[in-house]
Amino acid sequence: MSRNRAKAEMGSAQIFLLCLSFFFSLSCAEISTRVGINYGLLGNNLPSPSKSVKLIQLLKANRVKLYEPNPEILKALSGKKLQASVMVPNQLITSISSNQTLSDQWVETNIVPYYPKTLIRYLLVGNEILSFYSDQDKVTWHNLVPAMRRIRASLKSHHIRKVKVGTPLAMDVLESSFPPSNGTFRSDVAESVVRPLLQFINRTKSFFFLDVYPYFVWSQNYQTVNLDYALFKSTNVTYTDPKSGLVYRNMLDQMLDAVFFAVDRLGFPETRLWICETGWPNAGDIDQIGANIYNAATYNRNLVKRLTTKPAIGTPARPGLALPAFIFALYNENLKGGPGTERHWGLFYPNRSNVYPIDLSGGVSDYSGYPPLPKPENNEPYRGKIWCVVAKGANLTDLGSALGYACGQGNGTCDPIQPGKECNKPDSLVWHASYAFSSYWAQFRSSGGTCYFNGLAVQTTRDPSYGHCKFPSVTL
């Protein structure tokens, strides 16, 4: 492309975007910018729905997203000024896509008894169906939009017209996202799934629901991405898109605009976007950088301030656009698997004390009156050895099964704890499991293995080796 042609195209794009910003400022005027909250239930120690709703009100949120149509929660929301988003389970998508009766029954069972006293406003079909990390097969991908159409038809048949239908997607729906102007949907879903999805969204005046996490981009690229840039704190760190000329001052805007450019490429510039999940972990494993209370509070507080500013700020590619959002999440959820960060996204601990104070209405812009945040101690990666051992209080019955799993992965994982070997003594379940966990993690971490084992294991920097028995470790 010649330089003159590029300048001409960029100028046309800027004029086009200015027109779009005017359109969006009008079309989104009715959308409240008060930030909502994701209410997950993957914990065995969480407060009751009624107490949880009180906490949501304490946050001054005006909307809540549920990952299932939990009857007790929907009842607790009855009569409250809290708009609710409810999710259709992933496993029902294929069945509903070809069966209108099943769709009607699902809506009649899970929505009709609570509507309109409970302000259900959004019905989300599935969760991150198109993600590489989803356990859904490609058949489900192609059944997604047909299922959405049937759910909408079911709502209409019950004369429920205020509920919009959508589906949350993860950022890996993009094939290219950098620079933002190169935003492109993956070739395996762009035409077959995303195009009909965008047609449905725009025809029904719904939203493109997106899960977007600057934390993961920063933590995987901390050597090249400035932390303040990810936390909305940077004053002199910017990035200029070489093609569009747009200037970025935070990572979230870059990620959102990559999606906007991808949407534009398919010919749907009028599409409205909703941030379905975003946030920052307040804790994590030893080998997880930047997961701490200071960063979590800084990100979420700055996010709220930015999204609730009036008039709306938007993004460089969509200036003035109101961006509704849900922060993830209400609680730290102790039953979630995977790395430690997975269990530490909450604004509250299960005992209902806050992890840090925050006002989701945007009414508090200066948090100087609140207790000081703890100093972050893991914004630089840990350097040294880490072992994986049995967690304090681990259930012994479950521990036996976990030991069997770790040893069953082969590669000599548990050879040293066999009778007569150097790590067989002391001959105890906890000792053998700790060795097996460390050995498993050291061998399989690079391919996705974690030090978790359904909550039975924890990381430690204290070498558990004893005598001639040397525990394998992960060296960072």
Residues annotated catalytic, as ranges:
128, 277
> What are residue 247's phi and psi, to 5 degrees?
-105, 130
CA angle 122, 124, 130 (to 5 degrees): 150
Q: How far apart are CA 141 and CA 121, in angstroms?
A: 24
Q: How far apart are CA 387 and CA 445, in angstroms?
A: 12
Q: How far apart are CA 465 and CA 121, in angstroms?
A: 56
For helices 138-157 and 195-203, angle between their N-to-C axes, nearest 10 degrees: 10
Q: Cβ of 439: how many Cβ atoms within 10 Å?
A: 26
- The sign of the CA dihedral 205, 208, 209, 214 is negative
> What are residue 49's phi and psi, to 5 degrees?
-55, -40
Which of 338, 317, 153 minimizes the C-alpha distance to 241? 317
Reported as half-sphere exposure (CB side, CA atoms, 13 A), residue 426 has a value of 7
Q: How far apart are CA 276 and CA 127, in angstroms?
A: 10
Which of 232, 240, 236, 234 minimizes the C-alpha distance to 309? 232
Which of 41, 50, 43, 160 minimizes the C-alpha distance to 89? 41
Strand partners, 390: 457
Strand, helix or coil at 46? coil
For residues 61-86, b (16+ Cβ closer than 10 Å) or e, as one string?
A: bbbbbbbebbeebbbbbeebebbbbb
